[in-house]
Amino acid sequence: MIILIKNGEIYAPKYLGKKDIILENNKIAGIYENVKISPDMLNFFDVKVINAEGKIIVPGFIDPHVHINGGGGEGSFRTRTPEINISELLSNGITTVVGCLGTDGFCRDGKELFAKAKALDEEGMTTYINTGSYQIPVKTITDSITNDIMLIDKVIGVGEIALSDHRSSQASYFEFKSIVAEAKNAGLLSGKGGITNVHLGDGKRPLHYLFKVLEETEISAKYMIPTHINRNEETFKRSIEYAKVGGNLDITTSNDPEHVLKGERRASDALKDLLDAGVPIERIQFSSDAQGSLPVFNDLGKVIGIGIGSASSLYREVRHAILEHKISIEDAISVVTANTAEHYRMLKKGKLETGNDADIVVIDTKDLNICHVIAKGRVAVFDQKQLIKGTFEK
Ligand code: ZN
């Protein structure tokens, strides 16, 4: 099928003006001025025309940190969170996801994560996974990190490896350094990112090991992406220094904007503060941490239970950054598209360019709400109606 999206304002995420996009067989076939179709053509070809007048067209969003097969469990077994459904991702514009394991890398493992990623893929979106979890030594699917990254298409890196957290393995710097080196080299040999995704906890030594790697090895900062950098003041400050020596930063969007903890920043505020501190926009990405467990607060700010990180927070924070902080659409969209694709070496993702994958989000110009979503060349959401659903979703 050919899809023609007409008259939208295109943010690729760089602004290209009002143009038409043609999608064919899961690829962007081209971006043109005012494409005209003769009625004859419609008799011979299966063409769907979408009128995007008054709308913004952007690349499909990439969420690089989602517990797709569930997470949590820190409050005993009943606090294990459920798997994600594809509609929760697609309805929020997420067309590419990187699945990972967190605290529980024991009852959940890489094979289960791989199976869930394959399921989402079959249902209609692009998926990748990291090997490992919080723990060091890393529990792999095959016999090594290298073999996981080199031999399993879906595996693009390692993580989330926990540092500066009471739930981490309290491993040595030497062990951490070896993981980063192995992932990087396997990435080089297989044409993948080979990134180590580093979970930063509330401990007193955020990014300590990352800076040590930069001081004592030849490995560049881009191979370690710290996440949850907006969780407290000290971590945030050190992360700014890390970006200034070439590191890329991952801001977590899943916190409760009504009950932001002391020192914590909601993601859109963190984005503004990073830009104000002189961090180049290219170094910044968002991830939702969806299906991770989250504390729930009452009106007095007391913890009354455990909730779940949500995929809806990813675009919620992008929208908030544009509307409230007046960050440009180009910059705000880049933290969930082009920047993320660049950081993880996803070559056909994150930009609206001829030959790239046909992952597209159409947004209403007036209220910036998502109208349509196209994933792998199929219309997944149209006029906010979910067309692609999970196998067991009603
Ligand atoms: Zn984490």
**Rounded to the nearest whole angstrom, what is the distance from the C-alpha of residue 4 to the centroid of ligand 1?**
40
Q: How far apart are CA 378 and CA 190, in angstroms?
A: 29
Q: What value does the mean pLDDT take over residues 217-225?
A: 98
**Rounded to the nearest whole angstrom, what is the distance from the C-alpha of residue 348 to the centroid of ligand 1?**
27
17 burial via Cβ count (<10 Å: 0-12, 13-18, 19+): exposed
Local confidence band at 293 (pLDDT 50, 70, 90 cut-offs): confident
**Rounded to the nearest whole angstrom, what is the distance from the C-alpha of residue 164 to the centroid of ligand 1?**
11
Let me know the angle formed at the C-alpha of 308 by 306 and 309, rounded to the nearest 5 degrees. Answer: 130
State the pLDDT at residue 299: 73
Q: Which residue has the tokens 């200034």?
A: 244
pLDDT tens digit sequence for 118-134: 999 999 999 999 999 99
List CB contacts of 143: < 8 A, sequence separation 6 or more.
none
pLDDT at 42 over 90: no
Local confidence band at 46 (pLDDT 50, 70, 90 cut-offs): confident
Residue 270's SS3 state is helix
pLDDT at 39 over 90: no
Residue 122's SS3 state is helix
Q: What is the mean pLDDT of the chain?
A: 95
State the pLDDT at residue 109: 96
Which is higher by pLDDT, 361 or 75?
361
341 burial via Cβ count (<10 Å: 0-12, 13-18, 19+): buried
Q: Which of 269, 289, 357, 359 is flagged as catalytic?
A: 289
H/E element holding 381? strand 378-382
Q: How far apart are CA 192 and CA 383, in angstroms?
A: 35
Amino acid at 239: S
Q: What value does the mean pLDDT take over residues 325-330?
A: 98
Q: Which residue has the tokens 């080089």?
A: 188
CB 292 within 8 A of CB 252: no
**Rounded to the nearest whole angstrom, what is the distance from the C-alpha of residue 307 to the centroid of ligand 1?**
15
**Rounded to the nearest whole angstrom, what is the distance from the C-alpha of residue 101 to the centroid of ligand 1?**
9
State the pLDDT at residue 242: 98
Is 273 an annotated catalytic residue?
no
H/E element holding 249? strand 249-252
